[in-house]
Amino acid sequence: MNPFFLKIKKHKEQNLPFVLYSKPNSKNLIGILQQNDTLYKVSDYSEKGFVFASFDEKQLILIPESESEIIRIDKETTVFEPIETDELNFNSEEKKQYEDLVSKGIETIKNDEFKKVVLSRSEIVNLTEFDFAVVFQHLVQLYPTTFCYCFFHPEIGFWMGATPEQLLKANGNIFETTALAGTQKASSETEIIWKHKEKEEQQYVTDFIVKRLREFAASVVISEPYSFKVGSIWHIKTDISGVLKDNSTLKEVIDTLHPTPAVCGLPKKKAKAFILENENYDRTFYTGFLGELNSSFEGSNTSSDLFVNLRSMQIQDNKATLYMGCGITKESIPEKEWEESVNKSMTMKRVLKK
């Protein structure tokens, strides 16, 4: 194993915090190795480092730039055959529970309590052997257009993921973000056909983000929606960019965007309340956000590059807890949403040895 990964493994053996990541379409891997085991937190988003935030924003963990060693390496191509598991091999009780949850969500939408809600579930995969460095390299190779990461803190736990969704990129007062929704499994068909349900769901997300950003932006530019492939899954994506007003702060923009309708719902408060009351498990850092905060890891400019924590898993005691969710609208069909969640679970399952 090369010295870059050996150094990170040694750091992990000392039970010290670190994050290892690769940005979308980047040729580099970056490691941020905290030199002590203190639990640092973000207070006002003026801090510099790497942030790891929970869905409810009650945990805003920071690996500070000033307390860390930064290491880099060029990506290497490794020979790797993805594991294709039997998608039909599932727990029927879990399927029923999730479909019941989705049905309840649809019923609540039809009662006009909200337009959309994102409902998630977790799934445990037993691991006989697990090498985070190998799994991380496989993630990077399989999903080069995503933000791939491996995060560890002794007081927080061990998380990995490959997320396709950017929350916010900010450099000075210039910002970029995306609206991502709608899911379709890739097939042999050359043309992707989107149904009204997926188009509507994606438009909800775009409209929400643009409306919220106009409060803080001097100008906003919106692209046409387009199909975007991540591994074996297609999404609908819209790029949004612009210039912030001089008096707008990074904290204001993050607070207004997170959680987006792509991970929560619309209207946000009512959808979030439904999630917290009905999902029956704690998402913790799943559908939170993570990334570079006011950092200069990749150049002289100080910038923030934050991503939504999707397609993620927590590693604990030879088990991987996988997390996946689906956007529910009045046109949703519970069984189809279950199938979509199974497809999303394959993102992580393809790199794990059971």
CATH number where 222 lies: 3.60.120.10
Cβ–Cβ < 8 Å for 175, 217: yes
Positive/negative CA dihedral, 299, 38, 18, 46:
negative
Whether 67 maps to a domain, the answer reads yes
Whether 34 maps to a domain, the answer reads yes
Alpha carbon distance 102, 235 (integer Å): 20
Question: How many CB atoms neighbour CB 301 within 10 A?
Answer: 9
Whether 112 maps to a domain, the answer reads yes
Whether 258 maps to a domain, the answer reads yes
Judged on CB neighbours under 10 Å (0-12, 13-18, 19+), 7 is: middle
pLDDT of residue 86: 57
Alpha carbon distance 194, 343 (integer Å): 17
Domain count for the chain, please give it: 1
Whether 354 maps to a domain, the answer reads no
Range of the domain at 292: 3-77+90-349
Written as tens digits, the pLDDT of the chain (354 aa) is 789 999 999 999 999 999 999 999 999 999 999 999 999 999 999 999 999 999 989 999 999 999 999 999 998 877 677 776 655 567 889 999 999 999 999 999 999 999 999 999 999 999 988 999 999 999 999 999 999 999 999 999 999 999 989 999 999 899 999 998 888 887 766 778 899 988 988 898 899 899 999 999 999 999 999 998 887 788 899 999 999 999 999 999 999 899 988 899 989 899 999 999 999 899 999 999 999 999 977 666 789 999 999 999 999 989 999 999 999 999 999 999 999 999 889 888 989 865
pLDDT of residue 298: 66
Whether 83 maps to a domain, the answer reads no
Positive/negative CA dihedral, 157, 162, 166, 169:
positive
pTM, two decimals, is: 0.92
pLDDT of residue 1: 72
Whether 82 maps to a domain, the answer reads no
Whether 84 maps to a domain, the answer reads no
pLDDT of residue 192: 86
